[in-house]
Structures are given as structure tokens and as C-alpha cells.
């Protein structure tokens, strides 16, 4: 059973930065296909950034050029560097993991749906 634990949230002023961390445990090797999501009360959880199976990052348009996803594969830690934070970035941020499957010829792809979640970490950005 994969366990995900986020940390690094907090309260900052607009324009400042935060770095979120997510430690993944319970799996014997590097976990691909991980991502970051966020949710505000009354709204659906939205994807912020993720890695595909080839470690290519993908970002929501709202955070592109401000946020950066990275991974320490040796220690199975996922990061989200958030720069130039805006009040609209205020949310609970979740780390997510999903499965993957072989498509033949040595290639694999990530599943579409994320199925494993951390407990979340609150990020509050004031103007």
C-alpha cells in the first residue's frame, strides 16, 4: 500500500514562494506518474502538475511558468516549487499517485485516474 505524506504548506503574501514536498512510501522502487492537485471548498479537485511515464512534466495553464514539479527518485519524494504565488492559488494541495501499464515494446503509460492521495497541505496566499 502506497502512503503519501505532504508537507510544506503555509501562509504567505502574494508574490512569495513555497515548496511542497510529498514523501511516498510502501513501494519498493521509484513511483512514476505522480502529480499535484489542489482543492478549494465547494469546488472540484483540480490538477496542477504531473509527470507522465517518461518523466515529462505537464502543468495547468493557471500555474504554467510559475510552478515547477520535480522528483527525487532515490528517495521517492515529489516536489512542487511554487513561485509568484497569487491569492487564487489558495487551496489544499494534494499529492496523488496512479498506476501504469505496459503497452508493449518496452513502453508503459500512466493510468488516467489518480487513485492514491495524501492528506493534503494548506496553502494560503494573501494579497
pLDDT of residue 105: 85
Summarised one tens digit per residue, pLDDT across range 31-88 is 889 999 999 999 999 999 999 999 999 999 999 999 999 999 999 999 999 999 999 9
Please say if the pLDDT value at position 28 is more than 80. no
Q: Which residue in 15, 10, 18, 2 sits closest to 80, CA to CA?
A: 18
- Range 111-124 average pLDDT: 95
pLDDT of residue 64: 96
How would residue 29 be classed by pLDDT, with cut points 50, 70 and 90?
Answer: confident
pLDDT of residue 26: 86
Q: Which residue in 124, 114, 95 sits closest to 36, CA to CA?
A: 95
pLDDT of residue 77: 95
- Range 92-105 average pLDDT: 91
Amino acid at each position: 500500500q502506497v502512503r503519501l505524506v505532504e508537507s510544506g504548506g503555509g501562509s504567505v503574501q502574494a508574490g512569495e514562494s513555497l515548496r511542497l514536498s510529498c514523501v511516498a512510501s510502501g513501494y519498493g522502487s521509484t513511483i512514476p506518474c505522480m502529480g499535484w492537485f489542489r482543492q478549494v471548498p465547494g469546488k472540484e479537485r483540480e490538477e496542477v502538475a504531473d509527470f507522465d511515464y517518461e518523466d515529462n512534466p505537464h502543468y495547468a495553464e493557471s500555474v504554467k511558468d510559475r510552478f515547477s514539479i520535480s522528483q527525487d527518485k532515490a528517495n521517492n519524494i515529489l516536489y512542487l516549487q511554487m513561485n509568484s504565488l497569487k491569492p487564487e492559488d489558495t487551496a489544499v494541495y494534494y499529492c496523488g499517485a496512479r498506476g501504469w501499464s505496459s503497452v508493449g515494446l518496452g513502453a508503459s503509460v500512466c493510468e488516467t485516474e489518480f487513485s492514491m492521495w495524501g492528506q493534503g497541505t494548506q496553502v494560503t496566499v494573501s494579497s
